[in-house]
Amino acid sequence: MRPERDNRRGGILLLLLLACGLLTALHSRAARRGESDPISGAVRDMGLVPGQGAAAQLGQWWRRSAGALLSGPRLARENADLKARVLDLSAQNKSLLTAQAENARLRQLLGFEQRTPRPLLAAQVVALKPNPRSDTLTLNRGSAQGVHPQSVVLTPNGVLVGQVLDVSARACDVLLLTDGGSSVGALVHNHTPRGPLGLCQGDGQGHLRVTYLRSDTLLHIGDAVTTSGLGGVFPKSLPIGAVASVFVDKTRSLQTAILRPAADYDHLEEVFLIQDAPPDGPASGAPVP
């Protein structure tokens, strides 16, 4: 068995030597004739190019896979940092907008207080319409600050809100102009030398109307309505609202003007109280026109 195995190996070795010699002769002849070497071309086409392509693809796959594995935690951290930054910037933006609105509100309060000749007392609304059966609000100012029944209450831009109904040492209740039991003398500015006078009343539903206007009085939509100053409680020329519609009662020769209120009675936060001397007589707190 051993001599046969040696003979087989020797034959294989001889064939390989013959093949190498043949390939060498073919390569030498092609070189002498200036022809392309078929052996080198075959090696290049069947071995070198496919091998290099496979190696390049393997390298790209490794870079993608290993890069993704290595950069995943870093990208996750960067994403979390960016989200936290966005939330922080959003909070800062909201704070700036709130501060801007607060600054504008305080400027409005200060500007009106400086323009008006009347002594004013600033107050905060601590309860808006606490009683569902009446249009009232509660302020954080009371008799200790000089507030008394019938003290007139204005918005930060000077629009009439109502008058004080009841007072304690540190707080007071205000009857809004929209309440059904509230009334004030009104003047309609209809572009005539002397505008018509009427009585402005609330209906308890957030609306205002001016009654007892003569039917022959010419009214226009948008006519401004202010306090007339009659009655001695409300100062003259305080804004109330503007005419939104007109109804004529021909049987009584009267007409009624429905107003668009100049104040937003449902969103009051700060107001002013006119600081004046309390009215003569008992401090009953009953509103008068």
Q: Quick one: pLDDT at residue 100?
A: 57
Q: What is the pLDDT of residues 65-84, one digit of tens each?
A: 666 665 667 777 777 778 88
What gap in Å lies between CA 160 and CA 154, rounded to an integer?
5
Tens-binned pLDDT, residue by residue, of the chain (289 aa): 556 666 666 667 677 667 666 666 666 666 666 655 565 556 555 655 566 667 777 777 766 666 666 566 777 777 777 888 787 777 777 765 654 555 455 455 555 555 566 788 889 999 888 877 889 999 999 999 999 999 999 998 889 999 999 999 999 999 999 999 999 999 999 888 888 999 999 988 888 999 999 888 889 999 999 999 887 789 999 999 999 999 988 777 899 999 999 999 988 989 999 988 776 644 433 444 4
Q: What are phi and psi for residue 247, nearest 5 degrees?
A: -125, 135
Q: Quick one: pLDDT at residue 190?
A: 87
Q: Quick one: pLDDT at residue 81?
A: 79
Nearest alpha carbon to residue 172 among 144, 140, 131: 140
Strand partners, 214: 254
CATH class in words for 120-274: mainly beta
Average pLDDT, the chain: 78
Cβ atoms of 109 and 134 within 8 Å: the answer is: no
Q: Quick one: pLDDT at residue 45?
A: 57
- The answer to whether the Cα torsion of 97, 103, 104, 106 is positive or negative is positive
What gap in Å lies between CA 144 and CA 127, rounded to an integer?
19
- The answer to whether the Cα torsion of 111, 117, 122, 128 is positive or negative is negative
What's the Cα-to-Cα distance from 125 to each of 76, 195, 225, rounded to whole Å?
Answer: 49, 34, 25
The half-sphere exposure of 89 on its side-chain side, counting CA atoms within 13 A, is 6
Q: What is the pTM of this model?
A: 0.59
Q: What is the pLDDT of residues 161-174, one digit of tens each?
A: 999 999 999 999 99
